[in-house]
Chains A and B, each alone.
Chain A
Amino acid sequence: MTRNPPHIARLEVDQSLAADGAATLEPRSVDDVAAILKHASERGLKVQVVGGGTHSGYGRPVSPDLLMVMNGLTQVEVWNPDDLTVVVAAGAPIAEMEAKLNEANQTSVMPEHPGSGTVGGAISAGVSALRRGKLYPTRERVLEATLVTGDGRVVRSGGRVVKNVTGYDLHRLAVGAFGAMGVVVSVCLKLWPVPEGQMTVQVDDPDRASEVTRPLAVLETREGVSVFLAGTHSEVEAQTRRLGGTARPGHSWPVDPAGEFTWSLRVPPAEMANAIERMPDAWGFLAVHGVGEIRCSSDSFDPDFRSWAESVGGRLVVTSGEAEDFDPWGSPPPGVDLQAKLIAQFDPRRVINPGRLPGGL
């Protein structure tokens, strides 16, 4: 029934992402995206938007009629190093953008190990860097977004300045929305300078980190606890002395635990020690102290653990693995009705990643 148009045939897509019979489209421009979505809305076709495919495990799987692969929209459009902002197309691989920004000692504070992940993918999935405790999550980095709604409208929100309260923040609503507010096609990000001094100090207890004020990150894995420091050389040296423990220059960021089943535990920061203590030894974890985020792996889903997380005001969100007989998100969030009404205004035929959001939206 479907056939790839000529310029799309050359595309290399991870076929495991493609449901049977889904056509793969690679838009080359914002207008392409708009045309595709408008067409999909007119015909009621489900569109799965694919960035780097690194967050495809979030939410219920979509059985798409169309795969819209964003890797034709990868340009760094405007990079203004002296202004610490960058405008980039959503399909741009984070790794490539970061490499470029790093040349001028700048960072977008996107996830440290993005793999093939794209800027638009990280924004749509709402994932953040391990440095978020000090430098804030991805949501706070998006200064402007251009979105294409389900019915093909091109909508811009925010602006290319670091501070802005002009109008409603649709661009912030797009963070973590998996496209429901519109497919993110381009964003302006707030950058941060990478300081000259960088040190990683191993400590025996996360509480040791309170010796220093607002380190870049305090991370714990099965291998131990590391405090990541950044600042002027003299500052970092002084902090290192105060912490004691083994220090090595630079930052080597731990990777997310891998496994059959991976999930993100989100609890109030004060519950983290408790959460870690509750985890069986076989589970892997990477805990971002002070933030309340723990990235975990296990061989199966543990409903009791989710119940506990929700009882302390947290969440257990499945990020990869089969989620057949349970909800990947857990209990629906408050305001689901309102969210549904909002989505109806931005994706009226519900064609963009339908069903992926919590509450079956």
Chain B
Amino acid sequence: MTLTQDLREALGDENVLEEPVELHLFSKDASLMRGEPSVVVFPANANETAAVVRIAERHRVPIVARGAGTGLAAGASPTQGGIVVVTTRIKDIEIDVENRTAWVGAGVINLDLSVAAKPHGLYFAPDPSSQSACTIGGNVANNSGGPHCLSEGSTTSHVLGMEAVLTGGEVVVLGGAAPDPIGLDLKGALVGSEGTLGIVTRALVRLLPIEPDVRTLLMDFATVEDAARTVSDVIAAGVVPAALELMDQEMVRAVDNWLGAGLPIDAAAVLLAEVVGETEGVVAQSELISDIGRQNHATGVQVAADDDERALLWLGRKSAFGAIAQLAPDYYLHDAVVPRTRLVEVMTGIYGIAEKYGLTMCNVFHAGDGNLHPLIAFDSSDPEMNRLVHEAGDEIVALCLKAGGALSGEHGIGIEKRDLMRASFSELDLDAQARLKEVFDPAGVFNPTKVLPEGSRCFDFGGVRRELPDGVWV
């Protein structure tokens, strides 16, 4: 039987797409890279997903898992063709109020989970700005972050267990509501693996109690450096707010033009800070943060008066990437992280690079984590522009790495950042990662060519010899 015949038999005709127009819809994620899938399937559960995996292994074709396709690193782009496995039919939510956990289908939209948990006074901490579209499966696969991961950590800190389909179509349930599962943390390895080790069909996630009070502050500054220094100073003062986000003027203007949120468009940068907890605590912390802002020459400090104002401020922040469409048809985005003490100098350097290349750049980022998102707006149909943008991007990454930073804070490596991995890791490091990949995916079907640069596994350690230290005699 052909590949599609096998898939149709396993999933039913209605869950298998192969018309070119339909396939095209699944040919890329939110990055710039496109592929051509052979077929797109919609399994309903782990068993159907397992059948798909077995079929893929039998036909030796790649499997690319896909949630909502909002990924920014081409993780869900089927660049090698093959089967795109869309999880959107796996969307059950089972909340366990007593244990403060939920079993969540991979295809559940992030925001829908928090909406479902809210009546129980609970929420799911990871809140990517794309949360009204992206899926839990995508969050788990990318170890996604979000503005509120500053104090609570990224998705990996909130995944207690999972149901996953591994090589050979084996369905496993790893972890659980009890702490510290014994043995190697296979679940932890799957989180953040971008669909290259297996397919996550359901996740057991931690839910947190909704905090009793919240204060959201907007501070504006006459220079980006002042805003960045405020971030460093807040962290240095021993305050870890729930969120601490920075937007520069280009970005504020784009957002305000789009939403009319009444943002301070004359400021060179704005900081959005949020503190949560008991009323007495949030009052004290928001005062401390405003004081630090003022010491760094904040020109205005505004506290959201009510939930509506607060929601509007966050809408402004979370709509930022969408607002970019006004500036140019495409954007190229980096996601490097730097130590928070190096924010000021790195930001200065990044603006310098954009200026050198004559590029339109905006910044909106998770400043409290040091997670930068320098975004270059451009027209990708111009090949010369493409080249410049990528060259500038590489220079930005090099600057961040030199400051002791990391390549990606939350968007993942996919293909977009894959060839920059060599700048972050030694050959031995990459070889070790490639071994992990090989153990999980001996057939090489799970999202091939993503994450690790080509040739990662070719290192032959046998050639290196280490001698025992002097004086050691065994």
Contact = CB atoms under 8 A, between A and B. Distances in A.
B50 to A, nearest CB: 15
Nearest to A164: B406
A3 B166 CA distance: 48
A39 B471 contact: no
Given A3-B473, A235-B277, A194 B370 contact: no
A310 B186 CA distance: 19
Contact of B409 (A6, A164, A343, A361): A164
Contacts of A137: 179-180
B279 A238 contact: yes
A175 interface: yes
A155 B434 CA distance: 12
Q: What bracket does the count of chain B residues touching chain A fall in?
A: 35 or more
Contacts of B25: none
Interface in B259-283: 277-281, 283
A317 B179 contact: no
Given A168-B436, A169-B156, A213 B278 contact: yes
Nearest to B461: A153
A317 B180 CA distance: 10
A238 B21 CA distance: 61
Given A126-B180, A167-B425, A7 B471 contact: yes
A334 B182 contact: no
A84 interface: yes
Interface string A8-42: 10000000000000010101110110111011000
Contacts of B131: none
Nearest to A43: B474
Interface in B414-430: 417, 421, 424-426, 428-430
Closest 4 CB pairs of A and B: A193-B238, A235-B281, A268-B177, A159-B406
Interface of A: 2-3, 5-8, 23, 25, 27-29, 31-32, 34-36, 38-39, 43, 45, 66, 80-85, 105-106, 126, 128, 132, 136-137, 139-140, 149, 151-157, 159-170, 172-173, 175-177, 180-181, 192-195, 212-214, 231-235, 237-239, 264, 266-270, 290-293, 313-315, 317, 329-330, 332-336, 338-339, 341-343, 345-346, 357-359, 361
Interface of B: 96, 98-101, 142-143, 145, 149, 153-154, 156-157, 166, 172-174, 176-186, 188-189, 191-193, 208-209, 211-212, 232, 235-236, 238-240, 277-281, 283-285, 337-341, 366, 369-371, 404-413, 417, 421, 424-426, 428-433, 435-440, 451-452, 461, 466-469, 471-474
29 contacts: A8-B471, A45-B474, A66-B474, A80-B339, A82-B236, A84-B240, A137-B179, A161-B370, A163-B145, A165-B408, A166-B413, A168-B189, A168-B433, A213-B211, A213-B278, A214-B211, A231-B278, A232-B284, A238-B278, A270-B98, A292-B179, A329-B182, A335-B183, A335-B186, A338-B186, A342-B184, A342-B186, A345-B436, A359-B183
